[in-house]
């Protein structure tokens, strides 16, 4: 049996709640909101799994090490 994507289900549920809770208000910057909400914990957990090794973390994430450094700085994870 194929396992469902738990991360997608969590994001879907959070977005459904977000839109429901707007109660008629117009949403804005949903894309940026979701990316920022997902990106920081993804970086934190991956860096932890890599033992703080940024080169290994970048490989695990499938991104360039310089991109990872930029994201670490953006999220103030140093």
Query: What is the set of domains in the chain, with CATH numbers?
Result: 6-74 (1.10.10.60)
1 pLDDT band, cuts 50/70/90, is very low
pLDDT of residue 38: 94
Identify which of 66, 11, 65 has the alpha carbon closest to the alpha carbon of residue 39. 11
Residue 16 reports pLDDT greater than 80: yes
Determine contact, residues 10/41, Cβ cutoff 8 Å.
no
CA distances from 14 to 9, 33, 54, 75 (A): 9, 12, 30, 21
Question: With 50 as the cut, is the pLDDT of residue 37 above it?
Answer: yes
**Which whole number is the average pLDDT over 43-56?**
98
Q: How far is CA 57 from CA 1, 26, 38, 50, 69, in A?
A: 30, 38, 16, 5, 10
Is the pTM for the entire model greater than 0.95? Answer: no
């Amino acid at each position: 049996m194929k396992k469902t994507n738990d991360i997608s289900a969590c994001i879907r549920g959070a977005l459904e709640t977000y839109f429901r809770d707007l109660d008629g208000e117009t949403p804005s910057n949903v894309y940026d909101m979701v990316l920022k909400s997902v990106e920081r914990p993804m970086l934190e957990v991956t860096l932890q799994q890599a033992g703080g090794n940024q080169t290994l973390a970048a490989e695990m994430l499938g991104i360039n090490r310089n991109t990872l450094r930029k994201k670490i700085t953006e999220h103030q994870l140093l």
